[in-house]
Structure 1
Amino acid sequence: MLLIPLLNGCAGKTESNKLQVVASIEPLAWFTERIGGDRVSVSVMVPSGGNPHTYEPTPKQMAQVSHAALFVKAGSGVEFELDWMQRLIDLNKSMAVCNASEGVALLPMGETEQDAAVEPADQHQHGHLDPHFWLSPKNARLIAKNVERSLVAIDPDGKAYYAANRTAVDQELQQLDEQIRKQLAGLQNRSFLVFHPAWGYFAHDYGLTQIAAEEEGKTLTPRQMERVIEEARREGIKAVFVSPEFSTAQANAIAQDIGGATVTVDPLARDYLQNLHQAAAAFARGMQ
Structure 2
Amino acid sequence: MRSQRKGNTAPISPVAAILAVLLLAAVTAGCTETGEEGEKDIVVAVTIPPEQEFVERVGGDHVRVIVLVPQGADPHTYEPPPGVLAGVAEAKMYAAVGSGIEFELAWMDKIASLNRNMLVVDCSRGVDLISTGEGSHQGTDPHIWVSPRNAKVMVENICEGLMEVDPANADEYRRNADAYLEELDRLDAEIARALAESGVEKIMVYHSSWAYLARDYGLVEVPIEDEGKEPSPQRIERLVTLARDEGIKVIFASPEHSTRSAEVIADEIDGTVVTISSLEKDYIENMRYVASVFAGSSEP
Instruction: Describe how 1:217-256 pairs up with structure 2 within 5 A.
Output: 217-256=228-267
2:121 maps to which of 73, 98, 102: 98
Structure 2 residue 61 is matched with structure 1 residue 50: no
The structure showing larger relative contact order (alpha-carbon pairs under 8 Å, at least 6 residues apart) is: 1
Partner of 2:293, secondary structure, is helix
Q: How many equivalent pairs are there?
A: 262
1:106-131 residue CA offsets vs partner (Å, 9 max, x unmatched): 01239xxxxxxxxxxxxxx9522211
Contact 1:14 1:20 in 2 (8 A): no
| Structure number with higher helix proportion | 2
Instruction: Describe how 1:56-95 pairs up with structure 2 within 5 A.
Output: 56-95=79-118
Identity %: 41
**Structure 2: 5+ residue stretches without partners:** 1-35
2:224 maps to which of 187, 191, 213: 213
Question: Partners in 2 of 1:17 and 1:271 — Cα distance?
Answer: 25
Equivalent residue, structure 2, for 1:32: 55
Question: Partners in 1 of 2:266 and 2:39 — Cα distance?
Answer: 50
1:131-157 residue CA offsets vs partner (Å, 9 max, x unmatched): 111111111111110000000111000
Instruction: Describe how 1:108-147 pairs up with structure 2 within 5 A.
Output: 108-109=131-132, 127-147=138-158
Question: Partners in 1 of 2:88 and 2:269 — Cα distance?
Answer: 46
How much does 1:15 deviate? 4.3
Please give the TM-score of this superposition, normalised by the length of structure 2. Answer: 0.84
- AA in 2 matched with 1:106: L
Please give the TM-score of this superposition, normalised by the length of structure 1. Answer: 0.87
1:175 maps to which of 141, 163, 186: 186
Instruction: Describe how 1:194-205 pairs up with structure 2 within 5 A.
Output: 194-205=205-216
How much does 1:89 deviate? 0.3
Equivalent residue, structure 1, for 2:168: 157
Deviates more, 1:185-194 or 1:162-171: 185-194
Q: 1:24 to 1:216 in 2, by over 3 A?
A: farther
Partner of 1:22, secondary structure, is strand
Contact 1:24 1:73 in 2 (8 A): yes
Aligned-residue CA RMSD (Å): 1.8
1:227-285 residue CA offsets vs partner (Å, 9 max, x unmatched): 22222122121111111110111111111111101111211111110011000011111
Deviates more, 1:79-88 or 1:209-218: 209-218
